[in-house]
Chains A and B, each alone.
Chain A
Amino acid sequence: MIEACGLSKRFQDKKRGDIRAVDNVSFTCQPGKIYGLLGANGAGKTTTLRMLATILEPTDGTALVCGHDVVEQPEKVRANVGFLSTATALYPRLTAQELVEYFGRLNGLDEATLEKRVDDIFNRLDMNGFRDRRCDKLSTGMKQKTSIARTLVHDPPVMIFDEPTNGLDIMTARTITGFIRECRDNGKTVIFSTHIMSEVEKLCDVIGIIQSGKLLAEGTLAQLRDKYAENDLEEIFVKVVAPHYVSAEAN
């Protein structure tokens, strides 16, 4: 369960001055559901998700993740979250197994539990063939699997994916989308960001459209279709975003 209340983030930029990357965003993600955050580049998706994962601290507002406040108890929040993005790289000089074990230990797992968990994950994701291979020698697909294994090692109830398929080929991207569905089916709370309409249509139970740091529309696909009288998600997105997009450029 994720509850964001008035989440805001301001940055100081030398050229552009005070920037509101995320501006008073509130939403709720339920367990067993996938919440899709849809937005163009620079809309504020990554900043929002980073605040939920407590990598960044909100300037205003807060969020509860599994009942823990992201500002007050960031370490407890992180222990309940699996965070995956295309920016979350692997340590090149560790083997796949060492990497997953490292994150398991950081999550406080004892050695016996860790060993069992790692074996289980490596079997499930079919990773035994490259268990002892260094991460810098892995193919893109193997790296993605290792990243997934990393986010799963502590079996978190909340999963946060920040543009997880960005720059991946179709087959690898499918591994990821399959994994996202699996998380939902296992009753996890899932939030993920993307700018790819088809992914949202296929995966999401609830969609939030974000632009210039503001959450402009929210609802199921059916609700959004009704509200904006369009069938195609891309048309809905353009309708929602267009007025704000111009003003954002003018800034």
Chain B
Amino acid sequence: MSLRNVGIVYRKELTEALRDRRTLISTIIVPLLLFPVLSVGFGALAVALVGKAKEETPKVMILGGEDSPAVVEGLKKLEKIEIVPAAPAWKDQIINKEVRAAVEIPPGFERDVARQKSDTVKIYNYKEELKSEFATDKIEKYLKDYRDNVVKERLAAKNLPGAVLQPFEVKQENVAPPEKVSGAAFGGIIGYMVILLCMTGGMYPAMDLTAGEKERGTMETILSSPISRMHLVLGKFFLVLTASLATAALSVLSMGVSFSFLHRFSENSGSQRGEAAAFLLQLGPKTVLSVFIMALPLAVFFSATLMTIALFAKTYKEAQSYLTPLTFVVIIPAIAAMLPGVELTPKLSLIPILNMSLLCKELVAGTYHWDFIAIIFISTCVYAAVALFLAIKMFQRESVLFRS
């Protein structure tokens, strides 16, 4: 094992990579520019939309209620919703989002209430639509308050205290520190991004250094030099690994910078927006470091796998058609970890990519389960070693190197 030879190959590949516009764009320029544009643009858009949704006064229709003037009057006094005259096509108007909700008061509602006869008040809305739900909440709260008052009056009439209906109260209180709450929401995305970028960052160099070398006819040249094939693969592998880690590191860095800018921008421009941007957490150096240490064996795994597959191809284009579908293989487990309720278990911690994605979610939230961390780190190291071993074996195979 000669580190000198591996170093010679690595230095040469680095020189070539730094002179290659395509490599520079894919590993440096894209991660540096994409995230500020994407996160600031998307973040600002999200903040603006949420703000606007809250600012708009939703229009609400009251259907019926002619003989229940007190309830109608109460609804009309509600803030932040606007009562519009009833129209026969109210259903279509809700679907077309001209009206956000309609409340149907049954005939003789107030009279029925006085007679202690139970009626149903219906609220028609557009489910999962932000402004419609907002209007519904307002109406529902008003109606529930109204109902509570009726109950209180009835109890008072019978000389019973209000506590009869409330033997005890149930309350929620969040004890998790705020960064853990936001971490749970955003940790998945950080892990997903680091994983995906480790993969895409190494992709272009992996193709360039294997299939590209075959395509340009330099494979035979290098194989005729005395360097052993293992040193050659290792030199190339370290370059792919460098590119993979550089892309991931640069992306996280640029994302961190853009998030903190966004955060500051929101703080300056009003409390409501600041609130919306507050969950765009700021990552501490400890978190970033631990995510990267854990991503290291995964990057090794990706780099070696990418090279093994790309080496099989004769041309750059062929390699591309093998590796592009591989992106989906990586995206699916990475996304699966972001689904709510998916958490680390001993079994899941052995599934590559998924385990790392789940772990990142925990790390960002500041949770350190050392037993899981050990299992995941070791299992990923094993997968990485197998992948690297395969890459070295693949480089020894004449049928792969001289495939025609």
Residues on A facing B (Cβ under 8 Å): 12, 50, 53, 55-57, 75-76, 78-79, 81, 83, 85, 87-94, 98, 102-103, 105-108, 134, 150
Contacts and interface: CB of A to CB of B under 8 A. Distances in A.
17 contacts: A50-B220, A57-B398, A75-B228, A83-B224, A88-B220, A88-B224, A90-B218, A91-B12, A91-B216, A93-B15, A93-B20, A94-B15, A102-B8, A103-B225, A105-B8, A106-B8, A106-B227
Given A102-B8, A106-B227, 14 more contacts: A75-B226, A78-B224, A79-B226, A81-B224, A87-B217, A89-B218, A90-B218, A93-B16, A93-B19, A102-B12, A103-B225, A106-B5, A108-B226, A134-B19
B172 interface: no
Q: Which secondary structure characterizes the binding site on chain B?
A: helix
B226 A107 contact: yes
B400 to A, nearest CB: 12
B16 A56 contact: no
A138 to B, nearest CB: 14
Interface string B190-225: 000000000000000000000000001110110111
A39 to B, nearest CB: 18
Nearest to B19: A93
B395 to A, nearest CB: 13
Nearest to B401: A55
A55 B223 contact: yes
A89 B221 contact: yes
B227 A88 contact: no
B19 A89 contact: no
A88 B223 CA distance: 10
Contacts of A93: 15-16, 19-20
Interface residues of B, number: 22
Interface in B1-60: 5, 8-9, 12, 15-16, 19-20
Contacts of A83: 220, 224
A132 B16 CA distance: 14
Contacts of B402: 56
Nearest to B216: A89
Nearest to A103: B225
B116 to A, nearest CB: 88
A41 to B, nearest CB: 14
Interface string B117-137: 000000000000000000000
Contacts of A107: 225-226
Contact of A98 (B15, B20, B218, B221): B15
B224 A91 contact: no
Interface string B224-240: 11111000000000000
Contacts of A150: 221
B225 A87 contact: no
A5 to B, nearest CB: 21
A170 B12 CA distance: 33
A87 B220 contact: yes
Contacts of A85: 220
B303 to A, nearest CB: 21
Closest 9 A/B residue pairs (Cβ): A89-B217, A83-B224, A79-B226, A88-B221, A78-B226, A93-B16, A106-B225, A93-B19, A106-B227
Contacts of A92: 216
A134 B402 CA distance: 27
A103 B223 CA distance: 11
A249 to B, nearest CB: 20
Contacts of A56: 398, 402
- Quick one: which of A83, A90, A92, A93 has the most chain B CB within 10 A? A93
B52 to A, nearest CB: 51
A216 B324 CA distance: 49
Contacts of A102: 8, 12
A15 to B, nearest CB: 12
Interface string B385-404: 00000000000001100100
A235 to B, nearest CB: 33
A57 B223 CA distance: 12
Nearest to A147: B221
Contacts of B223: 55
Nearest to A154: B226
Nearest to A98: B15
Nearest to B17: A93
A98 B223 CA distance: 18
A92 B217 CA distance: 10
Contacts of B224: 53, 55, 78, 81, 83, 88
B16 A91 contact: yes
A92 B17 CA distance: 11
- Quick one: which of B20, B217, B221 has the most chain A CB within 10 A? B221
B226 A91 contact: no
Contacts of A50: 220
Contacts of B20: 93
Contacts of A103: 225
Nearest to A13: B404
Nearest to B224: A83
A123 B221 CA distance: 23
B90 to A, nearest CB: 69
A106 B218 CA distance: 15
B217 A94 contact: no
- Quick one: which of A78, A134, A150 has the most chain B CB within 10 A? A78
A16 B8 CA distance: 41
A146 to B, nearest CB: 11
B108 to A, nearest CB: 86
Nearest to A75: B226
Given A55-B224, A106-B225, A107-B226, A91 B8 contact: no
A161 to B, nearest CB: 12
A78 B15 contact: no
A90 to B, nearest CB: 7
Nearest to A92: B216
